[in-house]
């Protein structure tokens, strides 16, 4: 995936040639057009700054910046239309679902998600996602929107403010600008909460409609008030509604964007027709519930791609239930997850049937993950979601439309289509293979074009010594040899402290960890970690088939790879 590969050549202008706005020509591309469901061969795409200026078959003139794509596939950048920056995707991110604040204070979680925000946005671009919609955040995050726009590598970010909800959520009540939920118990309160958000300039309003203890229709005055007030201020409204009656009432009240699937019953033709008539956009988020379940039942297995590209500390925390100090709560949630497995599977089946029905009827579908929820990791969760949409019966072209051009309707911006066409933003992906034939090609990204920058994905994230060691630990706990060895230098050494060589080179290290394939039990928890420059010292507690033991490992990092590991007994 190197920028200067044999298939990609870039010619730069002489330093003495100056233009007010320099053009870049991407030549010899196979242009994937989701809107028209076509692949055009031998195309050229020209952009200047962040705007595409031309699409044609002409060769590039001399003395311009050119990218010879070598017959690779160029498509619009991907969209994740349902994320939450206030959540990390890790185990400690939703204390209203599992309260572990005695183990990790929620204030630490808030600090971590803010500190890691720029890297998180880089991960989205690395995974080909050039646009995200945060449909429910905090005032703290919303106030950082302009800051995000100035970062060198980041997707286009659209944000709703704190989620207006009809239900109480006392865990967050004292958090002020870090509170992700605001409760409305009357129509007047609903209108006031919309007005309160205006000072922070949200892009849309998010509303959660969860009938609790009352008939769903009893909440309609609040729902109508919020939607009317938002529309009065020129803001569209996204509504969380997973029950058919809630979704139908929200649609009747004027909702623009339904996030999540209806999973309690198969939608009837009349409701499908209503959605289509009102041009309501639907974002299904098919896999989010499984993220919770497979974290709580401790069965989650991560792919090499997830272990490589996900935020490593959030991912690592999802294994913590295996050695949680409070074993009772871990056992309790494992039992609960088992009890919910069959009902959730039934809901998922209904959600997939509804997605197929909506898509075939022409209701606009957009891709979204609900990333940030426990077990749904930022950036890496979109591709599995797209593949699940395909498994629901959507064609590859329908899925590609959901991930690109359909998102143009969420905010209904005049003139914006999300296609690769003159006048559109220069947000594109260059892929090795044809995604219309094989959606898994979306994982094989050669280049990302974002805001007029031509970006090689492998240059976007640079691992710190600590994050590299954490990636290695995550791969160990996943028993994923490829991801594990990827963190080591080719000539890495394993030693008993101070200098007894045990193994040298990746193949010898592979042999040393043969037990990945045969161990019944295997988990390592970090008791204490010290980071000093390029050295990471981990005090470890290991549980395996032989029982439990403690030890210390000293990692020495060179050039973003583990060069040496010293084991201290």
Instruction: Please report the sign of the dihedral spanned by the C-alpha atoms of residue 383, residue 385, residue 391, residue 396.
Output: negative
Q: What span, in angstroms and rounded, lies between the C-alpha atoms of 464 and 452?
A: 28
Q: What span, in angstroms and rounded, lies between the C-alpha atoms of 368 and 160?
A: 15
- Domain with residue 126: its CATH number is 3.20.20.140
In a domain, 4, yes or no: no
In a domain, 479, yes or no: yes
Indicate whether 16 and 153 sit together in one domain: no
What is the gyration radius of the CA atoms in the chain, in angstroms?
A: 25
DSSP 8-state assignment for residue 408: G
Q: Which pLDDT score is estimated for 154?
A: 97
Of residues 243, 175, 173, the one with CA closest to residue 208? 243
Contacts of 197 (CB under 8 A, 6+ apart): 142, 161, 162, 205
Indicate whether 155 and 274 sit together in one domain: yes
Indicate whether 91 and 61 sit together in one domain: no
Alpha helices in 78-212 (DSSP H): 106-115, 117-126, 139-142, 145-149, 187-197
Indicate whether 313 and 383 sit together in one domain: yes
Residue 237 corresponds to which tokens in the numbers above? 């409204």
In a domain, 135, yes or no: yes
Q: Are strands 445-450 and 453-455 parallel, antiparallel or unpaired?
A: antiparallel
Point out the domain boundary residue: 383, 403, 423: 403
In a domain, 186, yes or no: no
Domain count, the chain: 3
pTM above 0.85, yes or no: yes
Which residue(s) pair with 551 in the sheet? 540
Indicate whether 69 and 128 sit together in one domain: no
In three-state secondary structure terms, 88 is coil
Indicate whether 355 and 424 sit together in one domain: no
Of residues 393, 390, 405, 362, the one with CA closest to residue 275? 362
Indicate whether 498 and 534 sit together in one domain: yes
- H or E stretch at 204: strand 204-208
Q: Which pLDDT score is estimated for 503?
A: 97
Q: What span, in angstroms and rounded, lies between the C-alpha atoms of 20 and 214?
A: 62
Alpha helices in 376-426 (DSSP H): 382-391, 396-403
Of residues 175, 121, 183, the one with CA closest to residue 149? 121
**521 near 544, Cβ under 8 Å?**
yes
Indicate whether 399 and 318 sit together in one domain: yes
In a domain, 208, yes or no: no
Q: What are the φ/ψ torsions at residue 448 (nearest 5 degrees)? A: -120, 130
Q: Please, is 170 exposed, middle or buried when counting C-beta atoms within 10 Å of its C-beta (0-12, 13-18, 19+)?
A: exposed
- Domain with residue 540: its CATH number is 3.10.450.50
In three-state secondary structure terms, 258 is strand
Domain around 34: 9-77+415-459
Indicate whether 301 and 388 sit together in one domain: yes
Indicate whether 555 and 508 sit together in one domain: yes
- Domain with residue 434: its CATH number is 2.30.40.10
**207 near 229, Cβ under 8 Å?**
no
In three-state secondary structure terms, 317 is helix
Indicate whether 146 and 67 sit together in one domain: no
Q: What span, in angstroms and rounded, lies between the C-alpha atoms of 235 and 195?
A: 11
**290 near 348, Cβ under 8 Å?**
yes
List per-block mean pLDDT (blocks of 10 residues) for the chain, which spans 569 residues.
Answer: 36 33 92 97 96 96 93 98 98 97 96 98 98 98 96 97 94 96 96 98 93 83 97 98 92 96 95 96 97 95 97 97 90 95 96 97 98 98 98 98 96 90 96 98 97 95 97 98 98 96 97 95 96 97 94 97 96
Indicate whether 99 and 68 sit together in one domain: no
């Amino acid at each position: 995936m190197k920028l200067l590969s044999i298939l990609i050549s870039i010619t730069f202008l002489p330093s003495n040639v100056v233009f007010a706005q320099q053009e870049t020509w991407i030549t010899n591309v196979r242009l994937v057009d989701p809107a028209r469901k076509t692949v055009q061969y031998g195309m050229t795409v020209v952009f200047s700054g962040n705007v595409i200026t031309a699409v044609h078959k002409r060769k590039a003139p001399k003395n311009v910046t050119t990218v010879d794509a070598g017959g690779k596939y160029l498509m619009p950048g991907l969209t994740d239309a349902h994320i939450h920056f206030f959540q990390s995707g890790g185990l400690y991110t939703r204390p209203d679902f599992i309260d572990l604040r005695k183990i990790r204070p929620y204030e630490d979680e808030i600090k971590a998600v803010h500190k890691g925000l720029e890297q998180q946005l880089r991960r989205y671009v690395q995974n080909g996602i050039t646009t995200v919609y945060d449909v429910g955040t905090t005032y703290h995050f919303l106030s950082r929107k302009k800051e995000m726009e100035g970062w060198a590598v980041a997707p286009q970010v659209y944000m709703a403010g704190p989620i207006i909800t009809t239900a109480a959520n006392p865990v967050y009540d004292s958090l002020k600008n870090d509170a992700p939920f605001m409760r409305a118990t009357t129509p007047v309160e609903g209108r006031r909460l919309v007005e309160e958000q205006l000072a922070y300039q949200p892009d849309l309003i998010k509303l959660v409609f969860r009938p609790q203890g009352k008939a769903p229709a009893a909440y309609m005055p609040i729902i109508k008030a919020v939607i009317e007030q938002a529309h009065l201020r020129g803001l569209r409204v996204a509504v969380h509604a997973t029950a058919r009656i809630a979704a139908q009432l929200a649609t009747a009240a004027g909702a623009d964007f339904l996030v999540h699937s209806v999973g309690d019953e198969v939608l009837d033709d009349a409701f499908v027709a209503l959605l289509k008539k009102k041009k309501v956009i639907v974002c299904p988020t098919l896999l989010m519930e499984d993220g919770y379940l497979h974290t709580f039942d401790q069965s989650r297995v991560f792919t090499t791609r997830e272990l490589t590209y996900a935020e490593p500390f959030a991912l690592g925390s999802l294994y913590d239930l295996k050695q949680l100090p409070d074993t009772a709560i871990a056992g309790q949630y494992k039992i609960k997850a088992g009890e919910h497995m069959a009902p959730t599977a039934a809901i998922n089946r209904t959600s997939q049937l509804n997605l197929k029905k909506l898509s075939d009827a022409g209701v606009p579908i957009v891709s979204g993950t609900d990333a940030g929820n426990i077990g749904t990791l930022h950036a890496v969760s979109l591709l599995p979601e797209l593949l699940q949409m395909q498994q629901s019966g959507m064609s590859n072209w329908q899925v590609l439309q959901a991930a690109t051009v359909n998102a143009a309707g969420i905010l209904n911006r005049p003139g914006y289509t999300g296609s690769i066409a003159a006048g559109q933003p220069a947000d594109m992906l260059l892929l090795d293979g044809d995604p219309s034939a094989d959606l898994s090609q979306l994982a094989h990204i050669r280049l990302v074009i974002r805001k007029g920058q031509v970006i090689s994905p492998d240059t976007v994230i640079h691992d710190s010594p600590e994050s590299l060691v954490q990636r290695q630990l995550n791969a160990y706990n996943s028993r994923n040899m490829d991801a594990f060895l990827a963190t080591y230098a080719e000539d890495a050494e394993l030693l008993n402290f101070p200098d007894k060589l045990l193994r040298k080179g990746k193949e010898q290290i592979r042999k040393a960890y043969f037990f990945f394939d045969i161990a019944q039990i295997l988990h390592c928890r970090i008791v204490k970690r010290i980071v000093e420059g390029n050295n990471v010292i981990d005090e470890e507690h290991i549980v395996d088939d032989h029982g439990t033991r403690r030890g210390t490992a000293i990692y020495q990092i060179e050039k973003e790879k583990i060069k040496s590991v010293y084991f201290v007994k």
